Amino acid sequence: VDNATAPVAVETVERVQAAIGELNFSPQAAARGLATRRTNTIGLIIDEIGRDFFPPMLRGIEAAAQEGGFGLLIHSTGVGSRPPTTPYRAVGEHNTDGLIVFTDGLPDAEIIRLHKNRFPMVLLHRTPPNSLSIPHVVFANKAGARMMVDHLIEAHGYKRIAFLAGPQGNEDSGWRELGYREALEAHRIPIDAALIAAGGFDEKIAQATVGEWLAKGMEVDAIFAADDDSAFGAIRALQQSGKRIPEDVAVAGFDDILPSRYLSTPLTTVRAPIEEAGYQAARTLVQLIRSRRAKSIELLLPTELVIRRSCGCNA
Amino acid sequence: VDNATAPVAVETVERVQAAIGELNFSPQAAARGLATRRTNTIGLIIDEIGRDFFPPMLRGIEAAAQEGGFGLLIHSTGVGSRPPTTPYRAVGEHNTDGLIVFTDGLPDAEIIRLHKNRFPMVLLHRTPPNSLSIPHVVFANKAGARMMVDHLIEAHGYKRIAFLAGPQGNEDSGWRELGYREALEAHRIPIDAALIAAGGFDEKIAQATVGEWLAKGMEVDAIFAADDDSAFGAIRALQQSGKRIPEDVAVAGFDDILPSRYLSTPLTTVRAPIEEAGYQAARTLVQLIRSRRAKSIELLLPTELVIRRSCGCNA
DNA sequence: TTGAAAGCGCTAACAG
DNA sequence: CTGTTAGCGCTTTCAA
């Protein structure tokens, strides 16, 4: 970060540098911010700090922010937060030069308001409300789910495939469910509503759901969970009922978080480039702040099938 | 965040609030910061964004920051960062009202410099250099390790107990090793230097180390890893050599991160209150910023033995 | 090319 | 108790 407005005598530069070192000087961000109307900080708004998903995402964001010379201000609006003092306003407009909004970290109305004010913003793992042209980065969720369910059907001949959905209204989960449905339809397998239930992107919730299925004797060939965490829950419920994986019931997930490969029966899943998504989001935001315009509105990052043992393959 | 310098007519308040809503006004942090010389932001400096340890820690820090009305600026100095442009200066003095320094996120010299400038700072999981009186929060590492090794010896009769140390110079690891040594001495078991090696707080490193031990036929009753991640590595290496846990070799860890209880052989470990430590650090920092003085310099958080199966107990 | 001066938007200290 | 003013530390503009 160099001012370098004009050429200066070398000697002058040296004297100034020496003085800086001696006096232990560093410019005051507030004053600079007031004068330039830029804070050199980007904000990340997230609903909740997750366990396995969050660290790689943050790594990616941090890397791009640092590369761009920006600081990173984090604000989590999660349950248990303080009263409704419009908390995100603090991290919004006048505190940062732009915002990364993770999934449902911000209400639609607030996103719309910020966009109307032309405030730089990139959405991560969600699309803009009202089809506004706000840059966003998302996974190829539908394609990934489609590949997975195709595999379950074609390679293993499973017919009764259950789907453990994510939280209500979650977009990632919605697309994954659509891929699941399309795969079944493409193979002329009727969709059984009883085979679709809530997994909540959460191990405990998924475990409870699958536990109920088992209790009422539901027959399933395979369970496709909307994310790896809920796949873990499914596995746990299955094991508690003495079912073997994949011999009795196959299981597949989505995300490929780190623990997945280390399960006693390694999890077949769809790999999502979590860190890359964070990196691209922050990179896009930095460009947006600098040039006031984004190269592209939607960044759709590819997903990849990761075949391990839990689906019935030996690999 | 209310100005409330003086009582005002209710009607006036309402009109102002209405105007704020309509004009979509929010105060500009930079100007306020310049005038008040406070940023209402605290900084977290961390060397690397870890996988299982980081999220709970951040949750705790965020909670306390929000409670105190502070924003949170995160800066990770990790490998792969940009050139040495004294990067932390940016997150330091003039950008934040105070800093939480996680382990080795900042060089000693920089900590000393900041402390000389009377800059509010709390150290997390390290003690101050030169015994400066900088508030810090740490785990009861030595006590926890001592309890664990005592258990290994007294409950199971293990004699040849190996220790997988953390990274060079890491304080947590140092204390844990001391607890290990004291437990052996207390039971008159000679310390064998060959039984102490690097685990690096890292699964891969630990796996390699234990792999070498096994390759050269070293005999061990139990392995006490300085953290759970390295315990996982030990387990992996043991399994690859066909050793059973705990029948052939017992394993114990430290931290009790989430995956530990879910291993096929659940891990016996020492529980460290990770989130609580983050919370207390941020809380202390907020108090320090507000009152310019801390209630206490050292916050030593208790650790607790968590007995599961990997040590040889049935629990 | 360099130096002086104005002003960013807010708060604090003041006078009315 | 209310309204006015000076000034926080930088950048930018303009004059010398």
Whether A36 CB is under 7 Å from strand D? yes
Q: Identify the residue with better confidence: B102 or A91.
A: B102
Quote the pLDDT of residue B14. Answer: 58
Whether B32 CB is under 7 Å from strand C? yes
Quote the pLDDT of residue B83. Answer: 45
Which helix or strand (DSSP H or E) is residue A235 part of? Answer: helix A228-240
Tens-digit pLDDT profile for residues B214-224: 999 999 999 99
Is the pLDDT at A239 greater than 80, yes or no?
yes
In sequence order, the 6+-apart residues with CB closer than 8 A to the CB of A59 are: A275, A278, B49, B76
Quote the pLDDT of residue B9. Answer: 53
Residue numbers in A near B117 (CB within 8 A): 24
Quote the pLDDT of residue A297. Answer: 96
Q: Identify the residue with better confidence: B62 or A83.
A: B62
Is the pLDDT at A4 greater than 70, yes or no?
no
The reply to whether B49 touches chain A by the CB within 8 Å rule is yes
* Least confident range of A25-34, A123-132, B223-232: A25-34
Is the pLDDT at B70 greater than 90, yes or no?
yes
Quote the pLDDT of residue B307. Answer: 97
Residue B245 C-beta-side C-alpha neighbours within 13 Å:
27
Residue B304: both structure tokens together: 């607790």
- Mean of all residue pLDDT scores within chain A: 90
**Distance, CA of A278 to CA of A72 (rounded, Å):** 13
Quote the pLDDT of residue A289. Answer: 96
Quote the pLDDT of residue A81. Answer: 45
Is the pLDDT at A105 greater than 90, yes or no?
no
Nearest to B94 among A27, A49, A92 (CB): A27
Most B CBs within 10 Å: which of A46, A48, A58, A115, as the mutation test of the B interface? Answer: A58
Compute φ and ψ for B64, nearest 5 degrees.
Answer: -70, -35
Whether B193 CB is under 7 Å from strand C? no
**Distance, CA of B177 to CA of B119 (rounded, Å):** 33
Tens-digit pLDDT profile for residues B107-137: 999 999 999 989 999 999 999 999 999 999 9
* Residue with token string 């019931």: A249
Q: Identify the residue with better confidence: A315 or A91.
A: A91
Quick one: B277 exposed, middle or buried, by C-beta within 10 A (0-12, 13-18, 19+)?
Answer: buried
Tens-digit pLDDT profile for residues B87-106: 566 677 788 999 999 998 89
The reply to whether A244 touches chain B by the CB within 8 Å rule is no
Is the pLDDT at A83 greater than 50, yes or no?
no
Residue A182: both structure tokens together: 């399309």
Cross-chain residue pair B55–A54, CB shorter than 8 Å: yes
Positions 223-262 in A, CB within 7 angstroms of strand D: none
pLDDT band at A92 (very low <50, low <70, confident <90, very high): confident
Q: How many residues does chain B have?
A: 315
* Least confident range of A44-48, B25-29, B55-59, B236-240: B25-29
The B222-225 sheet, strands edge to edge: B196-198, B161-165, B222-225, B250-252
Is the pLDDT at B55 greater than 90, yes or no?
yes
Is the pLDDT at A177 greater than 60, yes or no?
yes
Cross-chain residue pair A72–B71, CB shorter than 8 Å: no
* Least confident range of A149-153, A242-246, B148-152, B292-296: B292-296
pLDDT band at A95 (very low <50, low <70, confident <90, very high): confident
Quote the pLDDT of residue B131. Answer: 95
pLDDT band at B277 (very low <50, low <70, confident <90, very high): very high
Positions 39-68 in B, CB within 7 angstroms of strand D: none
Neighbours of B171 (CB within 10 A): 18
Is the pLDDT at B78 greater than 80, yes or no?
no
A265, closest residue in chain B (CA to CA): B264
In the predicted model, what is the mean pLDDT of residues A43-54? Answer: 93
- Mean of all residue pLDDT scores within chain B: 90
DSSP letter assigned to residue B267: P
Cross-chain residue pair B29–A89, CB shorter than 8 Å: no
pLDDT band at A16 (very low <50, low <70, confident <90, very high): low
**Distance, CA of A97 to CA of A108 (rounded, Å):** 20
Contact B223, B162 (CB under 8 A): yes
Compute the CA torsion angle B45, B50, B52, B54 (nearest 10 deg): 10
Tens-digit pLDDT profile for residues B249-275: 999 999 999 999 988 899 999 999 999
The reply to whether B265 touches chain A by the CB within 8 Å rule is no
CA A122-A127-A133 angle, 5° bins? 65
Most A CBs within 10 Å: which of B1, B22, B32, B34, as the mutation test of the A interface? Answer: B34
* Least confident range of A276-280, B82-86, B194-198: B82-86
Distance from CA of B128 to the nearest CA of A (A): 21
The reply to whether B55 touches chain A by the CB within 8 Å rule is yes
Q: Identify the residue with better confidence: A126 or A293.
A: A126
Cross-chain residue pair B26–A58, CB shorter than 8 Å: no
Chain D bases closer than 7 A to any CB of the protein: 1-2, 7-13
Is this structure's pTM higher than 0.85?
A: yes
Compute φ and ψ for A99, nearest 5 degrees.
Answer: -135, 140
The reply to whether B50 touches chain A by the CB within 8 Å rule is yes
**Distance, CA of A265 to CA of B62 (rounded, Å):** 36
pLDDT band at A85 (very low <50, low <70, confident <90, very high): very low
Quote the pLDDT of residue A264. Answer: 86
**Distance, CA of B277 to CA of B125 (rounded, Å):** 8
Q: How far is the CA of B279 from the C1' of C5 (A)?
A: 48
